[in-house]
């Protein structure tokens, strides 16, 4: 019975692939799935794909200045 209750958790939306995933890490307040985390680490900075990651990550790091 308790196990059914636990099913309420439906995962998190990854900020990079924008899909709902179960496993991943939190960067600031945003979720990055393990697939994207791995991609991000293994992608060379000269790879065009890296720019896409940075663009997606900018949504997280978009600075909000608290004065």
Question: Residues 6 or more apart from 24 whose CB is under 8 A from it?
Answer: 12, 14, 31, 32, 33, 34, 36, 37
Site string for Zn ion, 3-22 (x = CB under 5 A): -----------x-xx-----
Query: Which residues in 37-66 contact Zn ion (CB under 5 A)?
Result: none
CB of 36 to Zn ion, least distance (A): 3
Report if residue 36 touches Zn ion, rule: CB under 5 A: yes
Q: Which is nearer to Zn ion, 33 or 57 (CB)?
A: 33
Q: Rg of the chain's alpha carbons, rounded to an integer?
A: 15
């Amino acid at each position: 019975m308790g196990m059914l209750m636990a099913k309420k958790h439906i995962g998190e939306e990854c900020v990079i692939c924008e899909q709902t995933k179960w496993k991943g890490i939190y960067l600031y307040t945003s979720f990055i799935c393990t697939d994207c985390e791995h991609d991000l680490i293994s992608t060379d900075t000269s790879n065009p794909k890296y720019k896409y990651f940075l663009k997606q990550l900018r949504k997280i790091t978009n600075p909000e200045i608290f004065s």
